[in-house]
Structure 1
Amino acid sequence: MFSFTLAVSALAALCIRAATAADVFAHFMVQNAYAYDHSQWKADMLSAKSIGVDAFAMNWMPPDCQGNLGWQEDRIEDAFKAAEEVGFKIVHSFDMSWDNCDKYWNTTYMADVLQKHAGSKATYRWNSNILVTTYGGDRVKEYGALFFADLKAKMFFSGNAISLTPALTSFAEKAQKNAASAAFDMIADFAVIDGYFNWQAWPMYDNVNNTIDADEVFQSAMKKAGKSGPYIMAVSPWQFKDLDNGNNMDAWVAPADWLFKDRLESLVNGEVQPDIIELLTWNDWCESHYLRDLPGNSTSSSDYANMGRLEAYVAGQNHSPWRIMTKYYVEWWKTGKQPEITEDQVVFWYRVHAKDAQCNQGSSHIRNSDLVEDAIFAWALVTKDSRVSMSLGDNTYYDFHADNSGPATGSIPFPKDLGGSEGMRPEFAIMQDGKTAYYGQGSKRITSWCSTKNFNPVVNLIGQGSDNRGHS
């Protein structure tokens, strides 16, 4: 009897943990994993785990949507095997946004895929049910509430019930103007859902970098409706896309200069309390919001990605130092305790040309380009009293103070003169005890002109973990 009671208590604790977990997903674009092998999956998962990510949400297209995309299921099979080995989780995120498919998703195939991995220890569960997310499902006529109800029914009667938590993007967008109305309409139109994933991490209409009002309204509405699934909040460092196809809707930048910091701080400050956060994204090169290292250039690389037109604004635009910020805030959010600062590091990001630069290629107009600031943005963690010094051309010694009490931030505007055709590199230094502890320059020059219009930032690091050591 004693051991049985302990077992029941442990099971109850496990169920409570599953329903209140402060877990972190990273949205993973399977379309960019064609070259992945078992070792590459493990490398990506270990890299994600090192910054506090618990699972990849695997975004994949209908296998017969356009040509032969059946290889996606093979990559996902490989991912499950790798995840089992490294103690990582996988969540299916069915991409239901494609409106021009030869064959769309069907519930029989989706149920078969979910049941195939139901027994895997890498399958992420919510309240013992398999968690299923989507991108879309509310805009393409082949899907909708009845489609979701059929999927849930198939999985229930198979003995592998799901917690359906889709990203219904039309409601997320509407919520930026009227969140209460959007939440009401969504629950009325999609009563079948268990949870909700609010995809809209970025402001759409103005430069408001926090954007948590909609999260609070959606989460409250779902609770009032008695929904048992998780509320997933999206967090993203950036968004820029330019397909250069003459369609204004395919060329935009989100006003996101401080967005990443502000969204993450709203979590640790308790302004918003989602069940799960989802980082957008791990590897979406197309929309410039990747946290992963850039893919290999060689076609023989196990992480090679054929980016085509995207190469013009992704090549050399490293975002890896943003993972330092991610790790810091994720640990804080998960533990409820501000992490101790043990290294001196300054992460800084900037665009490589002025927003009104004359460019030879790229779309003639980038939506929202007037809402971004021509500046360099810096976020610092230091172990002791420090002065972070920033210079760019005629704008010299823009300094801000930092100490070991927590992150400090500063920025420096682009000068009017960006150095002609050659441009100029920003310079950074961490000053401690009257000496330069670390010094570094930006990896790319900032120019007043450009060969291709590019609103994708480059993200750099000085301090420990970089190769830039200062001098006295």
Structure 2
Amino acid sequence: MVFAHFIVGNTRSFTVSDWAQDIALAASKGIDAFALNVGRDDYEASKVADAFTAAADTGFKLFLSFDMTSLPCSGAGDATTLRNYILNYDTHPSQLKYNGKSLVSTFGGEYCTFGTGNLNQGWMNAVKTGMPPIHFIPAFFIDPGAFEGMTVMDGAFNWNSGWPSGASDGNFDSDNNYVAHLEGRTYMANFSPWFFTHYGANSFNKNFIFRADDWHFSHRWELIIANRDVVGLVEAVTWNDFGESHYLGPRHGDQAGSEAWTNGYDHTDWLDLLSYYIEAYKTGIYPSIEKDRIFLWARLSPAAANAPDSVGKPNHWDWTQDYLWAVVLLTAPAQVQLSCGTTRNTYTVPAGLSRLQLPFSQSCSVQASVIRDDLTTLTLAPNGFNFQTNPSSYNFNAFVAASP
């Protein structure tokens, strides 16, 4: 199964119909459930209730992912919030069940003891003792070697597997390390398409990128699919975390002060490419291509450019290169042309999926086309896809576009 991490804290203004809209869109792309990231804000419980109302009778599932960077967990009484959430939805028809048990996850929580002085016992008391049976797959940020003594864990979610850890491309080493220490328990991998956050010292004080070059979107999925025999579950991070720029869903609700780098940067054109890979992961067979498609994404300014931006250049800015990244799905061989201003490359491309790139060197507008038998059969010239060498601010978010 494939899930999408959903920040309930960004849904203060959501109605049931907003939830229904996102649920319908996610389900149409092959996503099975939302992992509802819940924290301490008072309004979140009512928004979780709205989500379950919207999901009822749709076949779409939901499960709780407790945000332990927000929820307290030092005393025994701190478990009450978690236990109430689990009890409230355990029998709901939209609660995701795994091996007949409610699936429950976390973001963090490796420091939680719930008054016991022991991580494993603390979590056991909090979510399992005297409770309906759950399948507990937390994202604890600990050495996987410690998993072998963590009897409360029915599996693990490897949050940091979603991006490379440095200036080179990602690999499957972190995933293999988790699998090796889970001893047959459920492994949940992270897929994430991007990462850029740009909060100043007067806000969340987070200003950095993770590398997403070299078609990271495709590369990560292809690693997961090649190792699908050990990847029981995949969680896409995220559906709606706008502040970290890895959102896949539509921009509505609370954008968490990210408007400076998310307004005008819609990511939903990635969803059909996501759907292509989800089908391959679930079935083990890449789907047949019935229509030529072009998917494009890039930053819209040079990584090394200087801008009059009080927040400053993001950390790790030098981990990324100035390229247009393209994935094309072709029903038959063709030529594909990528251009931006006077920079133009034409590639002879076979049927199937191909990855192409074009370097940026000047202010220009992006265009792509498919040429077959000397006829241009598809052209994509996205409105707003303009590379600017002298930006007014540091925006390392991805501009995403796809042909219909």
Q: TM-score, normalised by structure 2?
A: 0.92
Q: Report the Cα distance in structure 2 between the residues aligned to 1:449 and 1:246, rounded to whole angstroms.
A: 26
**2:291 aligned partner:** 343
Q: Report the Cα distance in structure 2 between the residues aligned to 1:291 and 1:231, rounded to whole angstroms.
A: 23
Q: Report the Cα distance in structure 2 between the residues aligned to 1:132 and 1:100, rounded to whole angstroms.
A: 17
1:450-465 matched pairs, under 5 angstroms: 450-462=391-403, 465=404
- Whether contact under 8 Å (2:196, 2:244) holds in the other structure is yes
- Whether contact under 8 Å (2:369, 2:380) holds in the other structure is yes
The CA deviation at 1:236 is: 0.6
Alignment partner of 1:240 is 2:196 = yes
Alignment partner of 1:359 is 2:307 = yes
Alignment partner of 1:402 is 2:349 = yes
For residues 153 and 267 of structure 1, do their structure 2 counterparts lie closer, same or farther at Cα, with a shift above 3 Å needed? closer
- Whether contact under 8 Å (2:114, 2:123) holds in the other structure is no
For residues 147 and 100 of structure 1, do their structure 2 counterparts lie closer, same or farther at Cα, with a shift above 3 Å needed? closer
The SS at the match of 2:230 is coil
- Whether contact under 8 Å (2:147, 2:181) holds in the other structure is no
Q: 5+ residue gaps in structure 2?
A: none
**1:307 aligned partner:** 256
Q: Report the Cα distance in structure 1 between the residues aligned to 2:52 and 2:284, rounded to whole angstroms.
A: 30
**1:48 aligned partner:** 26
The SS at the match of 1:123 is coil
**1:253 aligned partner:** 209
- The aligned length equals 398
For residues 73 and 358 of structure 1, do their structure 2 counterparts lie closer, same or farther at Cα, with a shift above 3 Å needed? same
**2:377 aligned partner:** 437
Alignment partner of 1:207 is 2:200 = no
The CA deviation at 1:412 is: 0.5
- Whether contact under 8 Å (1:92, 1:133) holds in the other structure is yes
- Whether contact under 8 Å (2:269, 2:400) holds in the other structure is yes
Q: Report the Cα distance in structure 2 between the residues aligned to 1:359 and 1:105, rounded to whole angstroms.
A: 49
Q: 5+ residue gaps in structure 1?
A: 1-22, 63-68, 172-181, 296-303, 466-472
**Which residue, out of 318, 322, 328, partners 1:370?**
318
**2:251 aligned partner:** 294
**2:180 aligned partner:** 220
**1:119 aligned partner:** 91
The CA deviation at 1:183 is: 1.5
The CA deviation at 1:86 is: 1.1
For residues 246 and 77 of structure 1, do their structure 2 counterparts lie closer, same or farther at Cα, with a shift above 3 Å needed? closer
The CA deviation at 1:272 is: 6.3
The SS at the match of 1:184 is helix
Alignment partner of 1:268 is 2:225 = yes
- Whether contact under 8 Å (1:34, 1:72) holds in the other structure is yes
Q: Report the Cα distance in structure 1 between the residues aligned to 2:339 and 2:87, rounded to whole angstroms.
A: 57
The CA deviation at 1:103 is: 10
Q: TM-score, normalised by structure 1?
A: 0.79
Q: CA RMSD of the aligned region, Å?
A: 2.3
Cα-to-partner distance string for 1:385-404 (whole Å, 9 max, x where unaligned):
211101122312x1223333
The SS at the match of 2:154 is coil
The CA deviation at 1:271 is: 6.7
**Which residue, out of 111, 114, 127, partners 1:152?**
127
**1:323 aligned partner:** 271
Alignment partner of 1:34 is 2:12 = yes
The CA deviation at 1:444 is: 2.8
- Whether contact under 8 Å (1:215, 1:272) holds in the other structure is no
What letter matches 1:338 in structure 2?
Answer: Y
**1:20 aligned partner:** none
Q: Report the Cα distance in structure 1 between the residues aligned to 2:62 and 2:228, rounded to whole angstroms.
A: 28
Alignment partner of 1:60 is 2:38 = yes
What letter matches 1:185 in structure 2?
Answer: A
The SS at the match of 1:231 is strand
The SS at the match of 2:56 is helix
The CA deviation at 1:365 is: 3.3
What letter matches 2:236 in structure 1?
Answer: L
For residues 84 and 137 of structure 1, do their structure 2 counterparts lie closer, same or farther at Cα, with a shift above 3 Å needed? same
The CA deviation at 1:161 is: 1.1
For residues 132 and 454 of structure 1, do their structure 2 counterparts lie closer, same or farther at Cα, with a shift above 3 Å needed? same
**Which residue, out of 134, 140, 157, partners 2:106?**
134
The SS at the match of 1:453 is coil
Q: Report the Cα distance in structure 2 between the residues aligned to 1:450 and 1:246, rounded to whole angstroms.
A: 23
Greater Rg by CA: 1
For residues 191 and 82 of structure 1, do their structure 2 counterparts lie closer, same or farther at Cα, with a shift above 3 Å needed? same
The CA deviation at 1:461 is: 1.3
**1:470 aligned partner:** none
For residues 100 and 186 of structure 1, do their structure 2 counterparts lie closer, same or farther at Cα, with a shift above 3 Å needed? same
Identity of paired residues, percent? 27
Q: Report the Cα distance in structure 1 between the residues aligned to 2:157 and 2:334, rounded to whole angstroms.
A: 40
For residues 263 and 115 of structure 1, do their structure 2 counterparts lie closer, same or farther at Cα, with a shift above 3 Å needed? same
